[in-house]
Amino acid sequence: MSATVLYLVRHGSIGPLAPKSYIGQIDVPLSEEGVEQARALCKWLQPVRFNRILSSDLSRTQCTCRIIAGHLAHSMESLPALREIGLGAWEGCTHSEIMQRFPAEYAARGRDIENWRPPGGESFADCRARVLDAMHGVLDHAQGNILLVGHAGVNRLILCDVLGIPVAKLRSIGQDYGCLNIIDFSGAQSRLRLLNFIPPAGRTIAEIPSTGNLPALQKQEVY
């Protein structure tokens, strides 16, 4: 496998929903703030030439990806395997509603977040299997720079795999709306260069001599 750099993005902020809602695979659009976050990423990544551009097939990731890709948006690939975790009957409900309606199930998920499935949904183990299968399929035939716009859960599962972190600890990895992660892949080796980075307004990646020296990386990298 040739050397590859993965620019892993979380989609921008979404439209108004109840606080702490389980969204999963509900197809909600970006908010105006989310569009601006995508534009900031477009500016920051402007000097980067992408060899491949990938997105989940949900509209919030596709819109973010099209804005970042700019004139290359026509080459964007939408992969259903990169969708957020499916939460079945829990989708659209708030945490408090789930705790009231499914108290035993909510407690069981807390005890085993990796393997427990909500009714009609996926476990994180299920989601990890499809996401990593898609990722390895991409990396096995990739070289150069890849843009992938995903979701909080999807990105955390990729980062858990890169860092060797158990899936049960995935919520310890920050993935804010409109954030950027950069991962180097060379053969069987991988190295996280940037984690949960929010680009500063009006600047580009070319204005930083070495991405690895960014203060934000030193503060936010997970070991």
User: For position 67, which CATH number holds?
Assistant: 3.40.50.1240
Q: With bands split at pLDDT 50, 70 and 90, how would you rate the model's confidence at 209?
A: low
In-domain check, residue 104: no
Could you confirm whether 32 is annotated as catalytic? no
CB atoms within 10 A of CB 123: 19
Beta bridge partners of 197: 180
What DSSP line would sit under 142-208, residue for residue?
--EEEEEEE-HHHHHHHHHHHHT--GGGGGGS---TT-EEEEEEETTEEEEEEEEEPPPTT--GGGS
108 part of a folded domain? no
Residue 115 lies in a domain: no
Catalytic-residue membership of 74 = no
Catalytic residue among 33, 74, 84, 151: 84
- Bridge partners for 223 per DSSP: none
Q: Which of 11, 91, 122, 151 is catalytic?
A: 11
Point out the least confidently predicted range of 1-5, 54-58, 156-160, 210-214.
210-214
Q: pLDDT by residue (tens digit) across 43-52?
A: 999 999 999 9
179 located within any domain: yes
Pairing verdict, β 77-79 and 52-56:
parallel
Residue 132 falls within a domain, yes or no?
A: yes
In a domain, 102, yes or no: no
Specify the number of domains making up the chain. Answer: 1
pTM: 0.90
Structural domain span for residue 46:
4-21+30-86+123-220
Residue 39 belongs to a domain:
yes
∠ CA 97-100-103, nearest 5°, is 120
